[in-house]
C-alpha cells in the first residue's frame, strides 16, 4: 500500500502515532520537499523515525512517480507530506496514479494539521474565509495579478482571504539552462513583508480598494512551532515587519470581521490604537 502521511506544520514530533508506526515498518520512506518544508532538517526526521528518508523533489514526484510507486502494490511505501496530504493538488494526482496503475495500488491517507486550519490561531473564524490565493515572487518583467480577482470576490462578500506565499526550492537558473547547463538557485521563501508590498503595488494599478495601504491584515510565521509569530496591522505596517525565518502566510481581513474576531486579533496588533480605529470605521457590523 502507498501511505500518504501528513506531517503537520512544525517538526518531527508532529506526525501522528499511527503515521509513525507506518513509517517505521515501511519498505521505503519519501519526503515531499517542494510544496512546503518542515522547520527541521531531514537528518532530524531520520533520527526520530529511526529510518532513512528519500527527499522527493518536484522532478521526482511529477516525472519519476513510477520509482516511488514501484512494488507499492505488494509492499508498504510511505510518502510524507508537510501539513495535510490533500492541501496541494500534487498529492491528489499521486493518488489518482495509484488508482490508474495496473494493477491498482491501494492507498491510505493520514491527515494532519494544515495552514488552512492552523490559521485559526489568528482569532479569525474559519467559517468566514473565502477562496485561498497564492502569491508568487514578482520579477521586473512578470508581475501576475490574477490573485486580485479572487481577493476582490472575497471582499465583496466580506470574507477573509488566506494568502499562501511562494517558495522556491531546487529551481533551475534560467540563464544557465539557456546555455544547456542545469544549475539550481539557492532556496527562497517569500516573507510577509514582500507579500504585503506586492499587494499594495497591484492595488496601485487595479484601484478597487481591495488591498491598499490601510487594509487590515494578519501575518503569521511558523504556526504550530515554539517560536510562531503573529502580527496584525495594515498592509503598510506589515510590509515593514520582520517575521523571521520561514514559513510565512498572510490573511486579509474581511469587512464583516465579527467583534469577537476583532477582540482576539487586536492582541497581535503592531499599533492597537490604529488597528482599532480602522476596524471601527470600516469593519464589523455596520448600522
CATH number of the domain within which 90 lies: 3.40.1010.10
Q: Is there a single domain that holds both residue 121 and residue 257?
A: yes
Mean pLDDT of the chain: 92
Q: Is there a single domain that holds both residue 234 and residue 144?
A: yes
Q: Report percent pLDDT > 70 for the chain.
A: 96
Q: Which residues are annotated as a binding site?
A: 9, 84, 114-115, 165, 223, 248
Q: Is there a single domain that holds both residue 67 and residue 121?
A: no
Q: Is there a single domain that holds both residue 9 and residue 98?
A: yes
Tell which wins on pLDDT, 59 or 190: 190
Q: Is the pLDDT of residue 184 over 80?
A: no
Q: Is there a single domain that holds both residue 252 and residue 194?
A: yes
Q: Is there a single domain that holds both residue 273 and residue 140?
A: yes
Q: Is there a single domain that holds both residue 14 and residue 98?
A: yes
CATH number of the domain within which 278 lies: 3.30.950.10
Average pLDDT, integer, range 209-236: 97
* Domain region containing 36: 2-113
Q: Is the pLDDT of residue 286 over 70?
A: no
Average pLDDT, integer, range 253-278: 96
Average pLDDT, integer, range 149-158: 96
Q: Which residues are annotated as a binding site for S-adenosyl-L-methionine?
A: 9, 84, 114-115, 165, 223, 248
Quote the pLDDT of residue 185.
74
Q: Is there a single domain that holds both residue 67 and residue 98?
A: yes
Pick the last residue of a domain from 74, 95, 113.
Answer: 113
Q: Which of 154, 162, 79 is nearest to 118 (CA)?
A: 162
Q: Is there a single domain that holds both residue 252 and residue 153?
A: yes
pLDDT band at 36 (very low <50, low <70, confident <90, very high): confident
Q: Is the pLDDT of residue 284 over 70?
A: no
Q: Is the pLDDT of residue 174 over 90?
A: no
Average pLDDT, integer, range 187-211: 96
pLDDT tens digits for 102-113? 889 999 999 999
Q: Is the pLDDT of residue 97 over 60?
A: yes
Partners of 221 in beta bridges:
229, 248
Q: Is there a single domain that holds both residue 172 and residue 271?
A: yes
Pick the last residue of a domain from 113, 130, 149.
Answer: 113
What HEC string does the chain produce?
A: CEEEEECECCCHHHCCHHHHHHHHHCCEEEEECCCCCCCCCHHHHHHHHCCCCEEECHHHHHHCHHHHHCCCCCCCEEEEECECHHHCHHHHHHHHHHHHCCCCCCEEEECCCCHHHHHHHHCCCHHHECCCEEECCCCCCCCCCCHHHHHHHHHHCCCEEEEEECEECCCECHHHHHCCCCCECCCEECCHHHHHHHHHHHHHHHCCCCCCCCCEEEEEECCCCCCCEEEEEEHHHHCCCCCCCCCEEEEECCCCCCHHHHHHHHHHECCHHHHHHHHHHHCCCCC
Average pLDDT, integer, range 123-140: 96
Q: Is the pLDDT of residue 136 over 80?
A: yes
Q: Is there a single domain that holds both residue 33 and residue 122?
A: no
Pick the last residue of a domain from 65, 93, 113.
Answer: 113
Q: Is there a single domain that holds both residue 78 and residue 149?
A: no
pLDDT tens digits for 47-84? 999 999 999 887 787 778 888 999 999 999 999 999 99
Q: Which of 162, 134, 15 is nearest to 81 (CA)?
A: 15
How many structural domains comprise the chain? 2
Amino acid at each position: 500500500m502507498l501511505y500518504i502521511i501528513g506531517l503537520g506544520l512544525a517538526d518531527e514530533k508532529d506526525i501522528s502515532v499511527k503515521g509513525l508506526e507506518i513509517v517505521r515498518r515501511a519498505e521505503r520512506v519519501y519526503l515531499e520537499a517542494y510544496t512546503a518544508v518542515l522547520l527541521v532538517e531531514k537528518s532530524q526526521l531520520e533520527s526520530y523515525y529511526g529510518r532513512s528518508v528519500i527527499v522527493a523533489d518536484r522532478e521526482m514526484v511529477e516525472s519519476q512517480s513510477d520509482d516511488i510507486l514501484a512494488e507499492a502494490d505488494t509492499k508498504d511505501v510511505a510518502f510524507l507530506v508537510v501539513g495535510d496530504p490533500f492541501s496541494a493538488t500534487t498529492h491528489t494526482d499521486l493518488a489518482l496514479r495509484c488508482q490508474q496503475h495496473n494493477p491498482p495500488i491501494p492507498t491510505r491517507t493520514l491527515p494532519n494539521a494544515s495552514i488552512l486550519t492552523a490559521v485559526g490561531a489568528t482569532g479569525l473564524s474559519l467559517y468566514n474565509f473565502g477562496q485561498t490565493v497564492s502569491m508568487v515572487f514578482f520579477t521586473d518583467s512578470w508581475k501576475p495579478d490574477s490573485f486580485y480577482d479572487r481577493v476582490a470576490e472575497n471582499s465583496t462578500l466580506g470574507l477573509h482571504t488566506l494568502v499562501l506565499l511562494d517558495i522556491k526550492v531546487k529551481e533551475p537558473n534560467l540563464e544557465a539552462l539557456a546555455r544547456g547547463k542545469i544549475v539550481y538557485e539557492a532556496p527562497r521563501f517569500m516573507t510577509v513583508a514582500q507579500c504585503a508590498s506586492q499587494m499594495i503595488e497591484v492595488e496601485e494599478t487595479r484601484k478597487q480598494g481591495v488591498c491598499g495601504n490601510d487594509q487590515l491584515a494578519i501575518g503569521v510565521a511558523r504556526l504550530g512551532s515554539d517560536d510562531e509569530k503573529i502580527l496584525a496591522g495594515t498592509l503598510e505596517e506589515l510590509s515593514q515587519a520582520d517575521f523571521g525565518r520561514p514559513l510565512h502566510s498572510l490573511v486579509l481581513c474581511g469587512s464583516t470581521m465579527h467583534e469577537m474576531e476583532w477582540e482576539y486579533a487586536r492582541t497581535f496588533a503592531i499599533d492597537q490604537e490604529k488597528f482599532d480605529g480602522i476596524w471601527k470605521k470600516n469593519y464589523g457590523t455596520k448600522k
